């Protein structure tokens, strides 16, 4: 049944139903409600996972790393400085091909100190070798956590689900959470491959010393498996939708899969690209662009934005990077505005950098980087409308939109 719950509780309930064997975490705002709820489930006898209280985020990551290395399903969550403190262990988890799943409640990084949302934490560790999902809303976050375990355990690659701190973690929305029996039909009990976990009866070495003659090939294997998971993510997304018979989202979508979602006209003049909860604001702004005469009674079905010239491209999967899927959409556009809550200081937005890279020599669109919402600054419809105007002007430097 659909229920109205806080985003953190929806995620905690989903993790409980997935039934990991070991959970370890350290509290940090705005992630804390997730692991508090999981601790309560354990204390109330509603779950039988091992809950390990850690003295830091580095320790929490190390605990789930060790647990995963013994061949059991694990989970942790963190945010901002906590994610950065985990950095060394994140690389180790990926390098040892451990299918850990982590929730990052995205929050800006210091200094100055902020507890509010942007994506600079996740962008800092984007090259650690993890699959990285970004959720727009509660329902998508629930789905992505379940799919994350399926992909991670298939590919032996860890997965991170990014949810916007406070915007999603502390807000209430309608959401349907599959129960444990339903989830098990899609995600069976974890059975690790022999020889890829620590077993006294079958000794193995994990994370061994690698001289130059071997190191590059090992990293190449991880890179290729991560890249090859693009197709698997899409396959699993469609399996999930079919099994759970999820509701079709209202609106005109010419493409909606596990990697991206496109919302708008078939041949847009301008495409706005973004990740996370800000996509909802962008859709609302686009809806209001077309003349009122085009509005139909049912919102977002062939009206306003859909008959206008502006489309919205949401990136659901950031790693592996869905370059071909993105190009299919932006190749039709004259202008592309990449709107992101992160900046590579001294350069442009990290998402814009990658889109410009894949478009080089393959696309003639004008691609512009727009930085919004750093440190939790509100992103308004007026700002989105301003970006739609600005992208048509001649500019090459990133544009920070604060008002």
DSSP characters over 28-51: -TTTHHHHHHHHHHHHTTS--SEE
Stretch 277-283: mean pLDDT? 97
CATH number of the domain residue 347 falls in = 3.40.50.920
**Looking at the structure, do residues 205 and 260 belong to the same domain, yes or no?**
no
- Report the Cα 311 to chain-centroid distance in Å: 21
**Looking at the structure, do residues 124 and 239 belong to the same domain, yes or no?**
yes
pLDDT digits (tens, 9 = 90+) for 313-351: 999 999 999 999 999 999 989 999 999 999 999 999 999
**Looking at the structure, do residues 270 and 158 belong to the same domain, yes or no?**
no
**Looking at the structure, do residues 221 and 275 belong to the same domain, yes or no?**
no
The residue to which tokens 């393959």 are assigned: 362
**Looking at the structure, do residues 260 and 221 belong to the same domain, yes or no?**
no
**Looking at the structure, do residues 315 and 342 belong to the same domain, yes or no?**
yes
**Looking at the structure, do residues 76 and 212 belong to the same domain, yes or no?**
yes
CATH number of the domain residue 85 falls in = 3.40.50.970
Structure tokens given for 283: 């859709």
Bridging pattern class, strands 335-340 and 317-319: unpaired
| Domain final residue pick, 187, 216, 244 | 244
Pairwise CA distance, residues 129 & 117, whole Å: 23
Bridging pattern class, strands 172-176 and 2-6: antiparallel
**Looking at the structure, do residues 237 and 261 belong to the same domain, yes or no?**
no
Q: Global pTM?
A: 0.94
Is the pLDDT confidence value at 246 over 80? no
Is the pLDDT confidence value at 300 over 60? no
| Domain final residue pick, 179, 213, 244 | 244
Q: Collapse the DSSP code of 200 into the 3-class scheme (helix H, G, I; strand E, B; otherwise coil) and give the result.
A: coil
H/E segment holding residue 350: helix 350-359
| Domain final residue pick, 221, 244, 267 | 244
- Residue 225 domain boundaries: 2-244
Domains held by the chain: number: 2
Neighbours of 395 (CB within 10 A): 13
Structure tokens given for 108: 């800006």
Q: Which residues contact 315 (CB under 8 A, 6 or more apart)?
A: 134, 259, 260, 273, 274, 275, 322, 326, 351
pLDDT digits (tens, 9 = 90+) for 30-43: 999 999 999 999 99
**Looking at the structure, do residues 272 and 227 belong to the same domain, yes or no?**
no
Note whether 284 and 382 are within 8 A (CB): no
pLDDT greater at residue 30 or residue 246: 30
Q: Supply the DSSP symbol for 271.
A: E
List, in sequence order, every residue forming a beta bridge with 172; answer none if it has no partner: 6
**Looking at the structure, do residues 222 and 361 belong to the same domain, yes or no?**
no
Handedness of CA 324, 325, 330, 332 (dihedral sign): positive
**Looking at the structure, do residues 303 and 212 belong to the same domain, yes or no?**
no
**Looking at the structure, do residues 313 and 176 belong to the same domain, yes or no?**
no
Q: How confident is the model at residue 372 (pLDDT cuts 50, 70, 90)?
A: very high
């Amino acid at each position: 049944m659909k229920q109205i719950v806080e985003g953190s509780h929806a995620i905690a309930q989903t993790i409980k139903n997935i039934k990991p064997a070991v959970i370890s975490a350290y509290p940090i705002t705005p992630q804390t409600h997730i692991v508090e709820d999981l601790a309560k489930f354990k204390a109330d006898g509603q779950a039988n996972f091992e809950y390990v209280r850690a003295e830091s985020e580095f320790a929490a990551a190390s605990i789930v790393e060790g647990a995963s290395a013994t061949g059991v399903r694990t989970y942790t969550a963190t945010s901002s400085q906590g994610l950065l403190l985990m950095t060394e262990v994140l690389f180790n988890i990926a390098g040892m091909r451990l299918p850990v799943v982590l929730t990052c409640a995205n929050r800006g990084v210091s200094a100055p100190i902020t507890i509010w949302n942007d994506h600079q934490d996740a962008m800092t560790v984007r090259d650690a070798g993890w699959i990285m999902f970004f959720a727009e809303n509660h329902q998508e976050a629930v789905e992505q956590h379940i799919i994350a375990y399926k992909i991670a355990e298939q590919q032996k690659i860890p997965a991170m689900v990014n949810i916007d701190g406070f915007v999603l973690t502390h807000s209430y929305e309608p959401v349907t959470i599959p129960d444990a029996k339903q989830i098990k039909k899609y995600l069976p009990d974890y059975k690790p491959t022999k020889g890829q976990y620590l077993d006294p009866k079958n000794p193995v070495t994990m994370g061994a010393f690698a001289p130059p003659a071997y190191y590059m090939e090992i990293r190449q294997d991880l890179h290729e498996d991560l890249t090859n998971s693009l197709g698997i993510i899409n396959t699993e997304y469609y399996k999930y939708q079919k099994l759970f018979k999820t509701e079709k989202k209202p609106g005109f979508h010419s493409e909606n899969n596990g990697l991206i979602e496109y919302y708008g006209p078939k041949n847009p003049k301008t495409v706005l690209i973004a990740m996370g909860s800000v996509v909802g604001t962008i859709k609302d702004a686009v809806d209001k662009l077309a003349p009122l005469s085009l509005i139909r009674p049912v919102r977002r079905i062939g009206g306003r934005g859909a008959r206008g010239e502006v489309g919205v491209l949401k990136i659901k999967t950031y790693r592996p990077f869905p370059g071909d899927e993105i190009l299919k959409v932006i190749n039709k556009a004259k202008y592309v505005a990449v709107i992101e809550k992160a900046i590579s200081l001294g350069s442009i937005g990290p998402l814009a950098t990658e889109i410009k890279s894949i478009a080089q020599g393959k696309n003639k669109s004008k691609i512009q980087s727009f930085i919004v919402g750093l440190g939790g600054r509100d992103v308004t419809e007026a700002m989105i409308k301003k970006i739609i105007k600005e992208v048509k002007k001649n500019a090459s430097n990133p544009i920070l939109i604060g008002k």
